[in-house]
Amino acid sequence: MILKIRAVGEPVLRGRAKPLQPEEIRLPSTQELIAAMRETMHDAPGVGLAAPQVGLPLQLAVIEDREEYMKDLSPELLAERERKPVAFQVIINPVLTLESAAEVEFFEGCLSLPGLVALVPRARKVKVECLDAQGQPRVIRASGWHARILQHEIDHLAGALYVDRMRSVSLCSLENFTRHWKGKSIPEIKRLLQVDV
- What is the set of active-site residues? 153
Which ranges of 158-185 does DSSP label H, i.e. alpha helix? 174-176
Residue (of 184, 149, 175, 178) closest to 76 by Cα position: 184
Q: What is the rounded (10 degree) CA torsion for 48, 50, 51, 52?
A: -140
d(CA 62, CA 55): 15
Q: Is 119 helix (H, G, I), strand (E, B) or coil?
A: strand
| Residue 4 DSSP class | P
Q: Which class for 28: exposed (0-12), middle (13-18), buried (19 or more C-beta within 10 A)? A: exposed
DSSP string, 74-104: -HHHHHHHT---EEEEEEEEEEEEE--SSEE
